[in-house]
């Protein structure tokens, strides 16, 4: 007889209160149910159940074995389900959240390729520069930029988020090109509206002389990266934004990169998700695809 099947019948006998009830629940005869129990008792050389015509009582070993059987059967069922999931094609709705600039400029082109590869997956993308709670918002996965707090989320590291300082040719012609980062303090610098006084950090030229921390300010503050880019294109000031947002304008000559020999501190970026949801083929396919696309 199959040992796992005998364990199933034994668990049913304990939970249903009798071998006859276990036989009915298991779709076998009462005689076969009795054979399963005898097999187990012979295997261990001790009784699991003390039975009379009116009731059954678990022995001390029988109670312990019942608990172990339930755990073993649970693990077997989970393993079977996981194997079945691995064989299924990714399908269904995937809810994703990402920062606004990264989502619009980098993630959307990658999503085009992902959806072409997995035609049965639908993506609901929520762009927000706030930290979105995955459970409260019903999200499956999030792109997070910056240091992660300790949490129960699983983090998959991606390539660091790079920054760039730029200005338009018109602005530089009008105000002059700063020769060093220290001169930024005398220029109109475009910053997020959340900061009353911003500091931009750079390394010394060629990576030498440690880190520079330059106070900057300006007349225009905006709470959106794309709007800051447009402001820079219209000559309103110098901008510090992600490379993915500005590098095409630099290549086209619409913006000029400043201080290329001074490195800007990069920011860590991760994909985060809840551990138990990774069993889903759609989430696993998304995490693996994006890790390959934006990995280090």
The CATH number assigned to the domain holding 57 equals: 1.10.10.10
Q: Are 106 and 222 members of one domain? A: no
Q: Is the pLDDT of residue 204 over 80?
A: no
**Tens digit of each residue's pLDDT (9 = 90 or more) over 273-282:** 988 777 788 9
Q: Is the pLDDT of residue 196 over 50?
A: no
Q: Is the pLDDT of residue 20 over 50?
A: yes
Global pTM value: 0.62
Q: Is the pLDDT of residue 263 over 50?
A: yes
Q: Are 167 and 253 members of one domain? A: yes
pLDDT at 203: 74
Q: Are 153 and 276 members of one domain? A: yes
pLDDT at 287: 94
Residue 109 forms part of a structural domain:
yes
Residue 262 forms part of a structural domain:
no
For residue 180, what are the CA distances in angstroms to 60, 68, 183? 80, 70, 6
- Residue 260 C-beta-side C-alpha neighbours within 13 Å: 4
**Tens digit of each residue's pLDDT (9 = 90 or more) over 47-94:** 988 877 678 888 999 899 989 999 999 988 888 877 776 667 888 999
Q: Are 155 and 274 members of one domain? A: yes
pLDDT at 208: 52
pLDDT at 240: 92
28 Ramachandran zone, left/alpha/beta (phi>0; psi -120 to 50): beta
Contacts of 292 (CB under 8 A, 6+ apart): none
Residue 182 forms part of a structural domain:
yes
Q: Which of 87, 111, 135 is the last residue of a domain?
A: 87
What share of the chain has pLDDT > 70, as a percent?
Answer: 94
Contacts of 176 (CB under 8 A, 6+ apart): none
pLDDT at 223: 84
Q: Are 149 and 284 members of one domain? A: yes
Residue 27 forms part of a structural domain:
yes
What's the average model confidence in pLDDT over 37-47? 89
Lowest mean per-residue pLDDT among 54-63, 106-115, 136-145: 54-63
- Residue listed under structure tokens 């991760």: 270
Q: Are 144 and 290 members of one domain? A: yes
Lowest mean per-residue pLDDT among 150-164, 193-207, 252-266, 274-288: 193-207
pLDDT at 144: 93
Residue 8 forms part of a structural domain:
yes
Q: Are 240 and 173 members of one domain? A: yes
pLDDT at 137: 87
Can you give 72-139 as a three-state secondary structure string? HHHHHHHHHHHHHHHHCCCCEEEEEEECHHHHHHHHHHHHHHHHHHCCCEEEEEEECCCCCCHHHHCC
Q: Is the pLDDT of residue 130 over 50?
A: yes
What is the distance between the alpha carbons of residues 215 and 170, in angstroms, rounded to a whole number? 23
Q: Is the pLDDT of residue 195 over 60?
A: no
Tokens of 154: 């699983």
Q: Are 210 and 168 members of one domain? A: yes
Q: Within the chain, how many helices (H) and strands (E) appear?
A: 11, 14
Q: Is the pLDDT of residue 118 over 90?
A: yes
Q: Structural domain of residue 249, as residue ranges?
A: 163-257
Q: Which of 87, 121, 138 is the last residue of a domain?
A: 87
What is the distance between the alpha carbons of residues 143 and 205, in angstroms, rounded to a whole number? 32
Q: Are 55 and 75 members of one domain? A: yes
Residue 153 forms part of a structural domain:
yes
Q: Are 275 and 139 members of one domain? A: yes
Q: Are 19 and 149 members of one domain? A: no
- Structurally, the chain folds into a number of domains equal to 3
pLDDT at 210: 63
Give the neighbor-by-neighbor strand order of the sheet with 256-257. Answer: 221-222, 189-192, 238-242, 163-167, 256-257
CATH of the domain at 248: 3.40.190.10
Task: Provide the mean pLDDT of the chain.
Answer: 88
Q: Are 67 and 113 members of one domain? A: no
């Amino acid at each position: 007889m199959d040992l796992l099947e005998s364990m199933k019948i034994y668990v049913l006998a304990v939970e249903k209160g009798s071998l006859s009830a276990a036989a009915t629940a298991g779709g076998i005869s009462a005689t076969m149910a009795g054979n399963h129990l005898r097999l187990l008792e012979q295997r261990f050389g001790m009784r699991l159940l003390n039975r009379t015509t009116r009731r059954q009582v678990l022995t001390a070993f029988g109670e312990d074995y019942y608990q172990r059987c339930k755990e073993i059967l649970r693990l077997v069922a989970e393993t079977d389900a996981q194997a079945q999931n691995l064989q299924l094609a990714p399908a269904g709705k995937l809810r994703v959240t990402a920062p606004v600039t990264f989502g619009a400029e980098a993630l959307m082109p990658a999503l085009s390729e992902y959806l072409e590869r997995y035609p049965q997956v639908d993506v609901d993308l929520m762009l927000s520069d706030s930290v979105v709670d995955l459970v409260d918002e019903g999200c499956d996965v999030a792109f997070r930029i910056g240091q992660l707090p300790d949490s129960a989320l699983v983090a998959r590291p991606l390539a660091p988020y790079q920054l760039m300082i730029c200005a338009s040719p018109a602005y530089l012609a009008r105000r002059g090109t700063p020769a060093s980062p220290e001169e930024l303090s005398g220029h109109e610098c475009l910053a997020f509206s959340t900061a009353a006084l911003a500091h931009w950090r750079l390394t010394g030229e060629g990576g030498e002389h440690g880190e520079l921390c330059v106070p900057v300010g300006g007349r225009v503050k905006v709470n959106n990266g794309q709007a800051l880019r447009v402001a820079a294109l219209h000559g309103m000031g110098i901008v510090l934004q992600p490379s993915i947002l500005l590098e095409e304008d630099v290549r086209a000559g619409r913006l000029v990169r400043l201080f290329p020999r001074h490195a800007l501190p990069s920011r860590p970026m991760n994909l985060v998700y809840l551990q138990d949801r990774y069993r889903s083929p759609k989430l696993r396919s998304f995490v693996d695809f994006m890790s390959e696309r934006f990995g280090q």
